[in-house]
Amino acid sequence: MDVYGLLGSPVEHSLSPPMHEAGYEAAGIDARYVTFEPDDAAEAVRGAAALGVAGLNVTVPFKRDVMAAVEPTERAARVGAVNTVDFTTSPPTGDNTDVAGVLRAFDHHGVSLDGTTAVVVGAGGAGRAATAALAEHADSVRVANRTVSRAHDLVADLGEEETRVDGGDDTATLSAGGLDRLEEWVPAADVLVNATTVGMESDETPVPAELLHDGLAVLDAVYTPLETRLLREADAAGATTVDGAWMLLYQGVEAFERWTGRDAPVAAMNETLREEL
């Protein structure tokens, strides 16, 4: 039996174990997915390698700490965080599947990101992943954050502000500002991502309804509730809406496929995830 797991604190309410175990069952894989709350995440990764653990996910507050124990992929290095560890290499490879989670969530809803103008609200971990993902395809990515310096830091980490930065096959222009820039940026945008916790278990939104329009595709990284006020108001404005469970699902799907070398049973994983929400 293979053992996979999640490093984080706290992790007792994580949705990853039931989602991944539903995938193993549907795929006929003899495996379990367990949770760990270590004192030292980097040492935990080294210990897991010695014990023969097949793969690890990493969540807050350890996504940066584990980088000391792995060889980060290009996208993990670009984001500055690791959320998936693959032990089939030496040293273990650290990837960031949150980036793929954003891209695959939009793709599932038929949203093409190529050549778009995108706005990301929030400059934390989810904001970093969303910005890196969008920079692979968009023409322009604008990051708005309450603490403006954090938005500038994010952009500086990914590339020079207001310059073209490499995002894969194409390049994107990155820029940063405060939440006051949303009034200018959102009406002109094709894509909007809420990467903050605003709206989590509360009827709040980080983006005023009057800025939303039918040319937008809106992803809210919040998944409790599934229909946030932002998504409800975006839908009323005629926008394409993507709830946060799709990002959660597809980052897990990407990890599953990396670890097992097999196509993930997406439908089974999605059904279980939504039953748990």
pLDDT at position 201 is 84
Same domain flag for 149 and 209: yes
Same domain flag for 66 and 53: yes
Same domain flag for 227 and 111: yes
Task: Select from 192, 152, 157 the least CA-distant residue to 175.
Answer: 152
Query: Which pLDDT tens digits describe the chain residue by residue (277 residues)?
Result: 999 999 999 999 999 999 999 999 999 999 999 999 999 999 999 999 999 999 999 999 999 999 999 999 999 998 999 999 999 999 999 999 999 999 999 999 999 999 999 999 999 999 999 999 999 999 999 999 999 999 999 999 987 554 444 444 456 899 999 999 999 999 999 999 999 999 998 999 999 999 999 999 999 999 999 999 999 999 999 999 999 999 999 999 999 999 999 999 999 999 999 999 9
Same domain flag for 138 and 28: no
Same domain flag for 119 and 90: no
Same domain flag for 21 and 87: yes
Same domain flag for 80 and 167: no
17: amino acid identity, one letter? P
Q: 169: domain CATH number?
A: 3.40.50.720
Q: 268: domain CATH number?
A: 3.40.50.10860
φ/ψ of residue 29, rounded to 5:
-100, 130
pLDDT at position 38 is 96
Q: What is the dihedral of CA 43, 45, 47, 51, to 10 degrees?
A: 180
Task: Select from 258, 249, 58, 134 the least CA-distant residue to 69.
Answer: 58
Same domain flag for 78 and 146: no
The total domain count for the chain is: 2
Same domain flag for 113 and 227: yes
Same domain flag for 52 and 179: no
pLDDT at position 129 is 95
Per this entry, what is the length of the chain? 277
pLDDT at position 159 is 75
**Known catalytic residues?**
63
Q: Which residue range(s) make up the domain with 28?
A: 2-95+247-276
Q: How far apart are CA 255 and CA 277, in angstroms?
A: 20
